[in-house]
Structure 1
Amino acid sequence: MQMATTPFEYAPAPESRSIVDIKPSYGLFVNGEFVDGHGKSFKTISPSTEEVLAEIAEADEADVDAAVRAARKAYDKVWSRMPGRERAKYLYRIARIIQERSRELAVLESIDNGKPIKESRDVDIPIVAAHFFYYAGWADKLEYAGRGTDPQPLGVAGQIIPWNFPLLMLAWKIAPALACGNTVVLKPAETTPLTALLFAEICQQADLPPGVVNIITGAGGTGQALVGHPGIDKVAFTGSTDVGKAIARTVAGTDKKVTLELGGKAANIVFDDAPLDQAVEGIVTGIFFNQGHVCCAGSRLLVQESIADELLAKLKRRMSTLRIGDPLDKNTDIGAINSAEQLARIRELSDIGEAEGAGRWSPECELPSHGFWFPPTLFTGVTQAHRIAREEIFGPVLSVLTFRTPAEAVEKANNTPYGLSAGVWTEKGSLILHMANQLRAGVVWANTFNKFDPTSPFGGFKESGYGREGGRHGLEAYLK
């Protein structure tokens, strides 16, 4: 007698918010202290509930100037003159404090960003600490970084980070800059400022000299003032390609060094000899991790024609098990979309994909009544003419295309203005190496996807930007 199967039910497992103390309002962090801004204030809200979390100061040009001046003073008088081994001690201290306050940071990140707690807890925060540990190790070894026997810092770095990985992008920017002897003025995204402001408290706790790290909050106008400030020696930006182009135009003709990490439309390529169950997990990680809010997301699935039906059946079955809901629930796989504006774009492009004739499918799932939510979605019958195959959706939406030969896979994968990442799934090592050599992407993953390590460089080609972050290569952007 065969027993009837019942779906696996999960009891709620919420993480407590009590470890986080969100203040009613926040100022700017300039010269080691929190100060009031001269501009207006704006609200940061929780994407999962739409509740107002705090009032945030919006830095105007005077505030930006004050932060840059503080960073310049700290650079000239303290930080650039400090031996590398002494700078390393501060970076190690920051890394340890991040580990000690990891639960607090993870909860705050999930509340302000909307990502599942298990991702912020198990992925984001550990890699944040790892970046500070890694670059602390480089601080007294810069002569071995490949930039000459006496490499010198650039000066003051103006850094602008996005909302998809608020604290992780902060670590990618600040850790190598400080290790090389630069000082920093950083602007977090206006929708996710809270963990950057908590990091400012960590800088105080670590007794970092005043002015070495300055955190200014605001929207596009604040970022423009920072990029255009004559006291900035280096601009580092992660975000949209359109804004990256605007930054490149602003700094053209100046002596400012620039690194840009921009959009992507990565191809995740599955060959007929790939381990399909493993590949399905990689596909899910590639596009549904962090609600698809990943610049290097595997948003185009290229599957060899002979296994397309089998792979899609497995993929749909796996997507049906994904749990959507409260980001603070430890069982949640897909959290909230970061903002109403981003949700509107995801809906618009998905509706266009359906109108253009692609087959749309989502598993049955109940979305919460409050907040910003979008179900995991895949499109079949997609061609390269579809907008969903060309434009970055930046959400949990997967476009499925097929191919017959490796040459066709390469041609389709490279047929994009972007070039940030790609994935290859096959049992043949020679095919992996062949594909990696042909694909015009800064990062190519083999039989995995979305794996990050502070020792490995990350960056793109074409409209995905230029420069590298992470690894020894990440030091080059902050040294003369």
Structure 2
Amino acid sequence: MTIQEFRTTASDLPDAVVNGRLFINGVWREASDGGTTAIINPATGEVAATVAASTTSDADAAVAAAKAAFEDGRWSGLSGRERSRILNKAAQLIRERAEELALTESTDVGKPITFARAVDVATAADQYEYVAALAQQLDGSVRETPLHAHAFTRREPLGVVVAITPFNFPLILSSTKIAAALAAGNSVVHKPAGDTPLSALLMAGILADAGVPAGVFNVVTGSGGTLGDHLVAHPDVSKVAFTGSTDVGRKVAALAGQNLRPVTAELGGNAANILFADADLDKAIGTVIGAFVFNSGQFCMGGPRLLVERPVYETVLGILKDAVAGVPVGDPTNPGTVVGPMASRKQLDKVSSYVEAAKAAGGEIIVGGGPLDLDGGFYYQPTVIAGLGNDAAAVQEEIFGPVLTVQPFDTEEEAIALANSTEYGLASGVQTSNISRAHRVSSKLDAGIVWVNSWALLDPAVPFGGVKNSGWGREYGPEALESYTRTKSVIIATD
């Protein structure tokens, strides 16, 4: 089957994304200055859509609409049960429009459509269903005190939430923020990544169709920089929810801090996957490969660092050499594809530069090691590198591509030290058949989530987030919903 037999064209996409406009106060509109941005299909290098390029005045209009909607209570004033019904309807519509969403996500990001359908779309629907249930449970509590008073607490929405999301998982990472913020009663202004805004436009229509009132959810498209900074520093914004790089996260936190606004920040990651000699190697190697090639390695909770206990180190390298060479790479609309293109030329060049630097630093390319020339797309071979020191850039920094570095270790203590040796702390993994070791090691890893004998098992009920320079705050679970509320205490004198 050739690439051309599967190739998606702009005519296959919904009109709402091919000619994308801003969604402000329930109305589709052009940018205030008429500016537009071309969105590139990374599998072909061709233009897939054209979207409006927002100005700061467009951002102001979106915030004003969200603030007005919050203050008049058209959403914040609804009961949790009423909001729950609407969010459940949104989940239903996501499932009904699954093919449309999967095709849009695949074309926009370059991810295999099989994964977009089974992971991205399904996860987004699950997220809305989960928070819909929690929306009915945002209760305060009565506090017993020696005061001659009746004391109780209330959980109340914050106001206008700005959700800023990255290019790699547009649908999932926007839903983690938007669904929770809406469930708590907030209004939202969403600024998706400039390169991958298309599913955000589809979701604006879906939420409106589900019954979310005008002004409660708004989408402004365009590059980060000035637009993102303007939204984060806006005085009428009550909270910023951000996923992106650590460097940009620092800037977001500083700008929001000028107005003393809370920030949830899920930032960079560079997770270590520790493989002990007692692990089931067949299962462990499958887990290792999935952890570093999933979404073409553009996964902040991926596993780009493999630490292998020395007795099985050479064996593992040999298995990886053969297995990784057989991973299907190609057109993301081909159902058999496992690894699609990088999301942009810029990302492809970044990955290439890291691998070339690793070669110069003495790294041994076990498999892969360069770009692939496939129909004009931004493809990179799944790559395994051995022989690097722990201070090498490819080991210490976030490559964000299908690249795996492999290092040996001799003791459990050494493995833990190596795993914790970077500035990041978003995720980690342990592959072992020893349950005592699993508990012992996972308790010592500096990470917000640890997977044992698995990778990337995620569910809306289980929180995740970073420590160290991987950020703070949690997505998913009741912990996420609580972060979109504030606690108010009420004390009523009884005499």
Match of 1:45 among 40, 43, 66: 40
Deviation at residue 413 of structure 1 after TM alignment = 0.5
Deviation at residue 38 of structure 1 after TM alignment = 1.7
1:76 corresponds to 2:82: no
The size of the alignment, in residue pairs, is 472
The aligned residue for residue 62 of structure 2 is 67
Paired AA for residue 241 in structure 1: T
Match of 2:475 among 458, 462, 469: 469
Deviation at residue 222 of structure 1 after TM alignment = 1.2
Give the 5 Å matches for 1:432-443: 432-443=438-449
The aligned residue for residue 121 of structure 1 is 117
Q: In structure 2, do the counterparts of structure 1 residues 435 and 144 end up closer, same or farther at CA, with 3 Å as the change threshold?
A: farther
1:137 corresponds to 2:133: yes
Match of 2:19 among 22, 25, 28: 25
* Alpha-carbon distance in 2 for matches of 1:44, 1:62: 22
* Alpha-carbon distance in 1 for matches of 2:140, 2:281: 42
1:377 corresponds to 2:370: no
* Alpha-carbon distance in 2 for matches of 1:145, 1:167: 35
Q: Aligned-residue CA RMSD in angstroms?
A: 2.0
SS in 2 for 1:150: strand
Does the aligned pair in 2 maintain the 1:159–1:236 contact within 8 Å? yes
SS in 1 for 2:139: helix
Q: Which moved more, 1:197-206 or 1:107-116?
A: 197-206
Does the aligned pair in 2 maintain the 1:159–1:235 contact within 8 Å? yes
SS in 2 for 1:419: coil
The aligned residue for residue 231 of structure 1 is 236
Paired AA for residue 90 in structure 1: I
The aligned residue for residue 3 of structure 1 is none
* Alpha-carbon distance in 2 for matches of 1:11, 1:133: 36
* Alpha-carbon distance in 1 for matches of 2:53, 2:374: 31
Does the aligned pair in 1 maintain the 2:8–2:107 contact within 8 Å? no
Paired AA for residue 80 in structure 1: S
TM-score w.r.t. the length of structure 1 is 0.95
Give the 5 Å matches for 1:441-452: 441-452=447-458
The aligned residue for residue 165 of structure 1 is 169
Q: Which moved more, 1:47-56 or 1:94-103?
A: 47-56
Match of 2:218 among 192, 214, 221: 214
Deviation at residue 255 of structure 1 after TM alignment = 2.8
Deviation at residue 51 of structure 1 after TM alignment = 1.1
Q: In structure 2, do the counterparts of structure 1 residues 298 and 146 end up closer, same or farther at CA, with 3 Å as the change threshold?
A: farther
* Alpha-carbon distance in 1 for matches of 2:379, 2:232: 33
SS in 1 for 2:255: helix
Deviation at residue 476 of structure 1 after TM alignment = 2.0
Where structure 2 has 5 or more consecutive residues not aligned to the other structure, the ranges are 144-151, 487-495
The aligned residue for residue 92 of structure 1 is 88
Paired AA for residue 451 in structure 1: L
The aligned residue for residue 278 of structure 1 is 283
Does the aligned pair in 2 maintain the 1:71–1:212 contact within 8 Å? yes
Q: In structure 2, do the counterparts of structure 1 residues 146 and 347 end up closer, same or farther at CA, with 3 Å as the change threshold?
A: farther
Question: In the TM superposition, what whole-angstrom CA distance separates every residue of 1:234-285 from its partner, at most 9, and x where no partner exists?
Answer: 0010001110001111122423111100001100000000000111111111
SS in 2 for 1:122: helix
* Alpha-carbon distance in 2 for matches of 1:261, 1:145: 30
Paired AA for residue 393 in structure 1: I
Paired AA for residue 109 in structure 2: N
Question: In the TM superposition, what whole-angstrom CA distance separates every residue of 1:424-471 from its partner, at most 9, and x where no partner exists?
Answer: 000111111111110000010000011111011010101100000001
Q: In structure 2, do the counterparts of structure 1 residues 144 and 106 end up closer, same or farther at CA, with 3 Å as the change threshold?
A: farther
Does the aligned pair in 2 maintain the 1:360–1:378 contact within 8 Å? yes
The aligned residue for residue 305 of structure 1 is 310
1:152 corresponds to 2:172: no
Question: In the TM superposition, what whole-angstrom CA distance separates every residue of 1:186-241 from its partner, at most 9, and x where no partner exists?
Answer: 00001111111011111222131001110110112211111011110000100011
